Amino acid sequence: MAAVIVPLFLAVLAALSGPVVAHGGLANYTVGETWYRGYDPNTPAAEQVGQPWMIQRQWDSIDPIFSVDDKYIACNNPGSPPVSYIPIRAGENITAVYWYWLHPVGPMTVWLASCGHDCNSVDVNEVEWFKIWEAGLLAGPNLAEGVWYQKQFQNWDGEPDLWPVTIPTSLRPGLYMIRHEILSIHIENKPQFYPECANLNITGAATAFPPKEYLKKFPGAYEANDPSIKINVYVPDDVSNYTIPGGPIWDGLVISR
């Protein structure tokens, strides 16, 4: 489970030179001072799949997923699971590292799913995900021109875009997948989902786990006609509140069923 310390510059850089399309994805993580290289769709799969350092699910495209019913909405993942797990303690931060994220409008969410004894034999469409973090519209004046977290986390000064998230302190230890999703809604009624998944080995002595109402599948967590997903952020232009789809985040408390 060796850490690779060389930053991996991502496909989005190549995409920037394209005339129209510019998307992106997540291919690096940090925990503390340790850098974990993930999958790079611009590097041959044979150099990455099965490598002992790989901690992220293979993904092959920086293009978005447009349908909530697309099975790739789980992990942008037509390919192979990784070999290794990022070690992390409950209560510790994991930071997702992007380069030059482009889109400014829409929510960002982070989900976990328990894998049982092995994340590499599970079906990413069958595991049960629970949301642990979300951020949407931070300030007005309206949906199109307001400050979204998605806009605020961008860095265009050569530094990477950093997205830190805390693993719930009360979560019971085990093998989990972590799923980062950026939902971009800058094109009217055509949502763009950008999910990627990695393996975590969460340690600690806590015992909590979210109750059933927090557990969702992808596809399944979202409705195509959710007004936060099928949305025109430009009309009307006086809306300054936004409900992040996918239900509430689990706050780490044990809730009696």
The Cα 63–Cα 151 span in angstroms is 19
Q: From residue 23, how far is each of 103, 152, 244 by CA, in Å?
A: 8, 17, 21
Size of the site for Cu ion (CB under 5 A): 1
Query: Closest distance between Cu ion and the C-beta of residue 19, in Å?
Result: 13
Q: Cβ 194 to Cu ion, closest distance in Å?
A: 8
- Report the residue number, 23 or 84, with the smaller CB distance to Cu ion: 23
Do 113 and 176 meet the contact criterion of CB atoms below 8 Å apart?
A: yes
Nearest distance in Å: CB 177, Cu ion: 24
Counting every residue, how long is the chain?
Answer: 257
Residues 7-26 close enough to bind Cu ion by CB under 5 A? 23
In the complex with Cu ion, the residue whose CB is nearer, 80 or 192, is 192
Minimum CB separation from Cu ion for residue 22, in Å? 5
Contact 221, 246 (CB under 8 A): yes
Which residues inside 23-82 make contact with Cu ion, applying CB under 5 A?
23
**What is the rounded distance in angstroms from the CA atom of residue 197 to the CA atom of residue 228?**
23
Q: How far is the CB of 228 from Cu ion (least distance, A)?
A: 19
Between 174 and 195, CB nearer to Cu ion: 195
Taking residues 119 to 158 in sequence order and writing x for each that binds Cu ion by CB under 5 A, - otherwise, the string is: ----------------------------------------
How does DSSP assign 69-135, residue by residue?
Answer: T-GGGTTS-SSPPPS--EEEETT-EEEEEESS----SS-EEEEEEEEET-TTSS-TTTS-EEEEEEE
Question: Residue 186 interacts with Cu ion (CB under 5 A)?
Answer: no
Q: Which of 211, 201, 217 is nearest to 253 (CA)?
A: 211
23 or 37: CB nearest Cu ion: 23
Closer CB to Cu ion, residue 85 or residue 194?
194
Considering the complex, state which of residue 23 and residue 180 has its C-beta at the smaller distance from Cu ion: 23
- Which residue has the closest beta carbon to Cu ion? 23
Could you tell me if 71 and 95 are in contact, meaning their C-beta atoms sit under 8 angstroms apart? no
- How far is Cα 245 from Cα 222, in angstroms, rounded to an integer? 7
| Shortest Å, Cβ 192 to Cu ion | 6
Question: In what helix (H) or strand (E) does residue 177 lie, and over which residues does it extend?
Answer: strand 174-184
For Cu ion, the binding residues (CB under 5 A) are 23
